[in-house]
Every structure is written in structure tokens, then in C-alpha cells.
Structure 1
Amino acid sequence: MLNIVIPAYEPDNKLLTLIDSLKSRPDFGRELNILIVNDGSSPNYNRIFSEAARKGCSLLTHEKNLGKGAALKTAFSHLIETGYQGFIVCADCDGQHRPEDVEKVAASLPGNTNSLVLGCRDFVGKVPLKSRLGNLLTGAIYSFISGQNLKDTQTGLRAFSSELLPWLVSIKGSRYEYEMNQLLEAKGAHVKLCCVPIETVYENKNSGSHFHPVRDSIRIYLPILKYLLSSLMAGGIDFILLFLFMKLSDSLLFSVIAARVISSAVNFFCNKILVFEKKELSLKESLVKYYLLAAFILLCNYTLIHSFTYVVHMPLLAGKILTEIILFFFGYQIQRLYIFRKEYA
């Protein structure tokens, strides 16, 4: 048995068309259960969900709209509670996923039991500009953060085995950022990401999507934004304290060390509690790792600036800026993967 999970918020007849298409496919259609989560749709859409239930789909309902991530986790929790053992495919309800692509992604699962299989689009043909730019930007940020390249970070067509359900339920996020968090958490959970090529489909310029370009993009990029703000705040504290201690002590060495110790401690606690939200981790162990990283980054800072300035012959300002950009993303990745990493059973 295969479970198809479809989160749905105020869907149109495309959902019913997808259900019919999936169930009518030879062999594939007879072996699946379709689990739909009504994510707080208004009563005007009851007809769609009633018809889906009549067609044999299982239905879960949120009393109010909680977001795509919450809808997916409701379905995953239900599968855990019912003791389901098998494969799961998540698909969208807006007509972006062809039934043959759903079947194609599902067919790749037997050899990938510890993998998250992604249906990856090529973004060729008539693709809405906001969708093309959104995927490029998200892909670039994901690549910087994780050190991995993915052709399609925003795909909703994803497949996995029931073994991954406890991990998927534990991932933070209730709306569109949840799917990005899956990708960001995968390496730390030893989950392999696999791409299966699918067709790029955007009907009526993707008018059926409930994705809000500004609000939901902020949620997706929030982890890196919080890290940036934490770093900027620590830098500002370091700058102010340097001059304050110089005025009080007239010792440059003391001022540099004291300012850096205080500012780095602020940065550590901000990252632990607010950025990576790992309050449960051992303070002693994570603090030691953090300061070892800080020492290594300080060494890298000098080495890179020296190389850019004296070997590549870049202007000092340009070399400094490039160095800080490189070490910013390097520091984020190391902290996320090793210092503030959450281990999964």
C-alpha cells in the first residue's frame, strides 16, 4: 500500500481531477490510499472535500488554516498513530504534479529507504517570473548554507518511507518554510536527498497557489536572516566595547580581547537560543565547540585576507569584504551541522 498525502487549502476541481487520474492508472491506482488534509478551508469548499471522500479518499480537517507544513505534519502524525509501514508521496492539489510524475517518484522509493526523493523541475518553457526567480534565489541560499546543489528546492512532490515519519514530524515550521527546513535538516539526520526529473507545470500562471511572495519568502529565509542579525548585533557590540574599553583602560590588547569575549558570548547565546533553537544542548560542549570554531575562523580570516591582498593582489577593502562573505556562510553551516546540531535516533 502507498499513501499519497495532499495538503489542501480551498482547492478547486484540479484536486478531483488529480484523484481520478491517480486512481485510474493501471496497477498504481489499485495500490494507493489518498490522504487529504483540509487546512481550514471555508465552507464554500465542502463540496470538493465531500466529493473527494466519496471517491474513497481519507480526510483530515483543521478547524482553521494552519499552513502547509502543519497540514503535512498532521498527516504524518496520523500515519504514525495508525502504525502505517510503507511508502508516502506528498503532492500538491493545484495541478502542478502530473499523475505520471507522482507514479515516477513513487517508483524510485524501494531502493531509497533512507532518502527523501524530490520531484525536480527543470523550469523550462512558460514559467511565471516570480516562480523562476524564487527558485533561483532559494536554490542559491540553500547551496550557500548546506554546501549542496539542488535543481529544485521548492518542489512539493516528495517521497519517502515511513521510517522517516518521526523525523519529519520533529522538524520546525508550519507553513511553506517547513519544506525548506526538511532540506536543511536532512544532512544532520543522515537523510539522503535524491532528485527525480519531472515536468514543469504552471497552469494560469500558477494562480491556484496560496504562496505569498513576501510573507512566505521571509519565513523560508528566516534561519539565515536570524543568523545575519545575530552576527550584525555581535559585530556592533564588539565595535562599541572596543572603544569603551580603550577609553577606560588605554590598552589596545585588553580592549580587543575583552570586547571580543563579550560580543562572542552574546553571539553564542543568540545562536543557541534564537537562531538554531537548541536550548536542550549541553552548554559546556556547545560552548567549547563554538570557541574552537571562533579561533579557527580568526585564523582563516587572516589567511584569506593575506591571500587576497598579497597573492591575488586585490584591494584590502575588497579582500576583507570577500573574506567576511565566505566566512559568514562557512560559520553558519558549521554551527548548524556540528555545534548546534540535533541528533535523531
Structure 2
Amino acid sequence: MHVLIPAYEPTGSLPRLVARLRDADPTLRVLVVDDGSGPQYAEAFDRAAAAGAAIIRHPHNRGKGAALRSGLAWIRARAPLDAVVTADADGQHTPQDILAVAARVDVEGNALVLGCRAFDGDVPARSRVGNAIARGAFRVAAGWRVSDTQTGLRGIPPAMIAWLLEVPGERFDYEQWVLLRLARAGFSAVEVPIETVYLDGNASSHFRPIADSIRVMAPTIAFAASSLTGFVVDAAALFLIYAVTGALVPSVVAARVISAGITFVLNRRVVFRRRGREHLFRHLAAYAVLAALLLASNLAWMSFLTGAGLPLWLAKVVTELGLFALSYRAQKNAVFAPRTANAVRSHAARADSSPQFTSSRVSS
């Protein structure tokens, strides 16, 4: 079992955590990734190494996601059969909770084990708000609930590591992308309750509530922007065509055909990152079916609402807002979803073919 700790400009809590982990379980192997902290933080890493950790370094700061991938690649190359528990360097995860997650990952098979905080009691406002924003956005985007989307305490089975090395994201968004793509890759998640710990009002955290909340919500924001673009095009075309023809149903159909072509390109290339010709016709056919279903629903609601006395513009807004979440879920989980069976077999094959080494130390 490896404990992987990404660290950027750490305090004295890092070497204390390493020492306490090694005291609690001398068989644990601890790997610390110095994510470009600079020479002024060398003492903290030297003390962590003296306490029993292996240290690898980025020459400059690349972000938490990049540090996690570097650590996972290092562990996979040397101990491919080891499970990994990731923990933060700021002292928010107690050795007891880290060991509890480690024990759970050993019995969960292919499940990602999440150490989840309750966020009750004396919790700093920026942490409470940041997690609430991320939790709500995640539920809309993924369609399933996680009580702590920002937790850095995660237990990773060895079969999952090859896939994790391919997940995008360089900074705090990486951990969000892992959760968003987990089910499509054929894995599941379980939660383990952990203590909510904040030292000095969480002053050592490098999470920026606004900037990094926006970053972790990027998939949802991108889809919302694409939908807004489609809405503007759709609404403009609808009002223009209706003004000329005076016929509601043909106007709605024509406007939706125009806007659907634009949103297909934006969602495929930008939101869900499916580029090139691979699966293009499958995506297009599935999108056409979804567009037809949404169009039928759009027509039904528009006719009902305008017939009930709502002005055209208000009926349009109400209808589009109602269909937004449904459209996102359908596109993410069906239209643009990768074929997970092949992907999972590919990850498993790469894991099985990895060379097996046992070293747990590296020079700094």
C-alpha cells in the first residue's frame, strides 16, 4: 500500500503527517510529490524524507492533478499491484482516516473509496461554500450524488491507475474529472466518513473558492455556454421566422434545426471533447434522435404554454430551462459517451502488462 501526498509550499504538517503514518503502520510506503515549491521549502521535504517518505519533484508548479499523475505513474512503474491512498499535505487528513480508507480499498475491488467530510460544525465559510457549489454542479453534471466532491482523501485500487493516468486536468479540476468520468469507465465509488479538520481556518489550503470552483465546474459551465449559444440562435431564428410566416409549429421546427447543428458541433468538440472522425456518424445519429425527442417535447410545451396565455418569449425561456438538465444528461451518458467496455478492457490489459518492481525510494 502506498500513500501519495501531492505538496505545494507545505508547512510543518507534512513531515508530521509522514512520521505519524509510519508510526501507525511501518509497512506503509509514503510518496510525496513536490510540485515546484522552490528551495525555500526544501527543509519541509527533507524532514519528510527523514521521516520515511520517498520524494519526487516537479521543477516548477504544474498543479495538483499533474502531481497526482506523476505520483501514480511512479508507483505503477515500481509497484503495479499496490493500491494507493491519496492524501493532502496540509494536515486535514488524520492518520486514522487515511488508514480507514486504506483498509476499505483493500476489500472494495474496483471501487474508488472517497473519504468524505460532513461539513458540519465549525467549518470555514470558503470551504463550506466551495464544496456546496461543487457538489450541486456535480449532481447536475453526473447525475449521481457525492457528499464531498473536493475530498483529496481517496483510495485507489491498482486496476484503476492506468485509467487515472489518462484523465484530463492539471489542477484541482483533475479530481472533478475523475468523478465525472468514473462510471463511464466502468468503476464505482463508495464513501467512508472522515473527520472534518481545518487548521488555522484552513489557511494553508491553496484552493481558491471562486477561481477553482469555476475550474471544477468547467464541464457544466461549458455545456451551459453552448446551450446559451444555441438558445440565442434558436430564439432569434424562431422570432424571425414566426414574424414572417405567422405559423408557430414550422417556426419552432426550423429554428431548432438551425440551432441543433450549431450546438452539436460545440458540444461534441468543446464540451465532451470528442474530436476527429472517430464515431462521428454514431454521435450524429444519436444526436439527431435526441434532437427529435427534444423538439417534440419543445413543441408540446410551447403549444401548451402559449395556449395558456404566456407570451412567446416567456414560454420559450420556461421550456428551455426545463429541458436543459435532461439534454445534458442524455448527451453525456448516451450521445457522446465512449464505449466503456473496450476502454475498461484496454486499461486492464495495460495494467496486467506492466513491469513489476518493488522499490519504494527515490533520490531527490
Counterparts of 1:1-345 in structure 2, within 5 Å, are 2-25=1-24, 29-242=25-238, 256-280=252-276, 281-302=278-299, 323-342=319-338, 343=340, 344-345=343-344
Q: 1:306 to 1:251 in 2, by over 3 A?
A: closer
Q: Distance in 2 between matches of 1:104 and 1:286?
A: 43
Q: Deviation of residue 338 (structure 1)?
A: 1.6
SS in 1 for 2:185: coil
Name the TM-score, length of structure 1 as normaliser. Answer: 0.90
Q: Deviation of residue 239 (structure 1)?
A: 2.7
Q: Distance in 2 between matches of 1:253 and 1:195?
A: 49
Letter in 1 for 2:40: N
Q: Distance in 2 between matches of 1:7 and 1:169?
A: 15
Q: Deviation of residue 240 (structure 1)?
A: 2.9
Moved more, 270-279 or 74-83: 74-83
Structure 2 residue runs without a partner (length 5+): 345-364
Q: 1:200 to 1:322 in 2, by over 3 A?
A: farther
Q: Distance in 2 between matches of 1:186 and 1:309?
A: 42
CA RMSD of aligned residues (A): 2.6
Q: 1:21 to 1:323 in 2, by over 3 A?
A: farther
Q: Distance in 1 between matches of 2:336 and 2:253?
A: 25
Maintained 8 Å contact 2:127/2:209: no
Moved more, 250-259 or 105-114: 250-259
Question: C-alpha offsets along residues 55-77 of structure 1, whole Å, 9 cap, x if unaligned?
Answer: 22111111111110110011112
Q: 1:236 to 1:19 in 2, by over 3 A?
A: same
Letter in 1 for 2:5: I
Letter in 2 for 1:41: S
Q: Distance in 1 between matches of 2:45 and 2:305?
A: 61
Letter in 2 for 1:295: A
Aligned residue-pair number = 339
Letter in 2 for 1:96: Q
More contact order relative to length (CA 8 Å, sep ≥ 6):
2
Q: Deviation of residue 148 (structure 1)?
A: 1.4
Letter in 2 for 1:33: R
Maintained 8 Å contact 2:19/2:52: no
Q: Distance in 2 between matches of 1:211 and 1:304?
A: 42
Q: Distance in 1 between matches of 2:314 and 2:100?
A: 48
Moved more, 57-66 or 236-245: 236-245
Question: C-alpha offsets along residues 213-255 of structure 1, whole Å, 9 cap, x if unaligned?
Answer: 2221111111111111111111222233345556888877665
Letter in 2 for 1:285: R
Moved more, 145-154 or 169-178: 145-154
Maintained 8 Å contact 1:122/1:197: yes
Q: Distance in 2 between matches of 1:303 and 1:250?
A: 18
Q: Distance in 1 between matches of 2:251 and 2:310?
A: 28
Name the TM-score, length of structure 2 as normaliser. Answer: 0.86
Question: C-alpha offsets along residues 20-39 of structure 1, whole Å, 9 cap, x if unaligned?
Answer: 110111xxx22211111100
Q: 1:188 to 1:331 in 2, by over 3 A?
A: same
Q: Deviation of residue 81 (structure 1)?
A: 2.6
Question: C-alpha offsets along residues 96-140 of structure 1, whole Å, 9 cap, x if unaligned?
Answer: 000000001111112212111000111122100111121112111
SS in 1 for 2:55: strand
Maintained 8 Å contact 1:113/1:160: no
Structure 1 residue runs without a partner (length 5+): none
Letter in 2 for 1:139: R
